[in-house]
Every structure is written in C-alpha cells, then in structure tokens.
Amino acid sequence: MKIDILTLFPEMFDSFFSHSMMKRAIKKGILRASARNLRDFTHDRHRTCDDKPFGGGPGMLMKPEPVFEAVEALLGKIPPRTRGRALTGRRFVYLTPQGEPFSQQKAKALSRSRHLVFLCGHYEGVDERVIRRLVTDEISIGDYVLTGGEVPAMVVIDAVVRLLKGVLGSEESKSFESFSHNLLEYPQYTRPASYRGMRVPEVLLSGNHQAIERWRRQEAAQRTLKRRPDILKKQESRSCTP
C-alpha cells in the first residue's frame, strides 16, 4: 500500500513511521509512506497556505491552491469538473470533525485500497472547493475538535496498516479482537497466575480448551452488554432488517 500525507507539519510523522508496526510494515515492503509539506507547493516568499474566510468570521482557512498543486504533483493533472473518486481510482481522505465517524469497518474498507492520500486540516479547516473536487472520504475520529488533522491521520493510518496482510505477527490476533465480531474482546491474563492476592480465573489454567472458549464468549458478551450495548443493538437491528 502507498500512503501520502499532505500536511503543514510533515515532521510530526517522522517518529510515527520509524517505530513499532509502521517501521516493520515499511521494512517488509508492505507500506510506502511519505508526508509532504503543503508549503512546498506555494509560490510566495512567506510560503502562505492560509487566508481569511470570505464573508468574514473568526480564524483562517487553508487555501485551495497548495492542495490542488500537491495533488497534481502526486497524481498528475486534475481534469476540470472531475469529482473525488473519479479523479484517480484512489482514495483521498480529509480528516474533519464533520466527517463520518471512524470505525473498524471503515478501516477494513480503506485497507483494500492500494493508494491512500490524507489531507490534514488546520486553522478553521480547508476551502470547500478542495473537499468538493478532490475528497472521496471525510472522516472524523470523534465528537471533539482538535487543532489539526495530523493526529487523526495517524489514528486512521494505524488502524488501516495493521490490517494489511503480513504486518502483524499473528494473523489470528486480528480476527478475535474487539469489534471484529460485534463484540468487545474478553479479559486476558498472563503470568504469574497469582499476583498480590489476585488470582487468574481457574478455567484459564484448566487446559480445557472448550471450557476456555465458552468462558471467553460469555465474558465478551457480558462486557459488551455492560460497556457498549449500542454495538449489540446495531447488530440486532441489522439481523432484523429483511
């Protein structure tokens, strides 16, 4: 997979791509990633990427020209009147609190693309013409407002890249984790079996795999019911839909 990030702060991604799973994915040749500075696509002495919004109002907006020029440098000429997906067959993601709430399902859908471009907003956001003409997916990581799109981009990229084949040590670990079966994951323990008076549930030490499986299913269901009943409700209404 190829990932390009358009940002005013490309250095923020240096550490992100040089540790842990990202580093491994790049080393294995599964991921090619680069963060591009939008200021490299400006033409004035101050490398200006923002301006006042038409009609007044507080704050500044990201200008369209550096974004369009960065996209053209990456993907080639943008034909007039092209919109989003039709542009290239790739996905162009804008991180915004106004977007579709991010989910494991969305991460799976994005992991099927061979090329993702992420646009990180700043200030009051980005000129609407960028969104209308270039963006295929608007994604929010939650109902709160952050300063910029860099941290949200990292959240989405992390969730997507760990789904790529060969990135995680054990392919199994993905299929049983939270959200993969509309359930949260069951509680887990490691050694020692007893610590500061707290003992690991006996069933996990029993060696009885059927009993362990049953216990885990019950715990996952109880935990989901208590912490995230909305997931179970969604699942119910999906299975009731004719």
Nearest residue to ligand SAM, scored by beta-carbon proximity: 121
Shortest approach of ligand SAM to residue 67 CB, angstroms? 12
- The three state secondary structure string of 130-190 is HHHHHCCEEEECCCCCCCCCHHHHHHHHHHHHCCCCCCCCCHHHHHHCCCCCCCCCCCCCC
Structure tokens given for 34: 């680069």
Residue with Cβ nearer ligand SAM (157 or 167): 157
Shortest approach of ligand SAM to residue 206 CB, angstroms? 45
220: which DSSP letter?
H
**For residue 166, is it left (φ>0), alpha (ψ between -120 and 50) or beta?**
left
Q: How far apart are CA 34 and CA 28, in angstroms?
A: 16
Shortest approach of ligand SAM to residue 99 CB, angstroms? 6
Shortest approach of ligand SAM to residue 13 CB, angstroms? 15
Residue with Cβ nearer ligand SAM (64 or 148): 148
Residue with Cβ nearer ligand SAM (33 or 93): 93
The full length of the chain comes to 242
Residue with Cβ nearer ligand SAM (58 or 197): 58
Secondary structure (3-state) at 55: coil
In sequence order, what are the beta bridge partners of 70? Answer: none
Shortest approach of ligand SAM to residue 53 CB, angstroms? 10
Residue with Cβ nearer ligand SAM (10 or 149): 149
Residues near ligand SAM (CB under 6 A) are: 95-98, 120-122, 124-125, 140-142, 144-149, 152
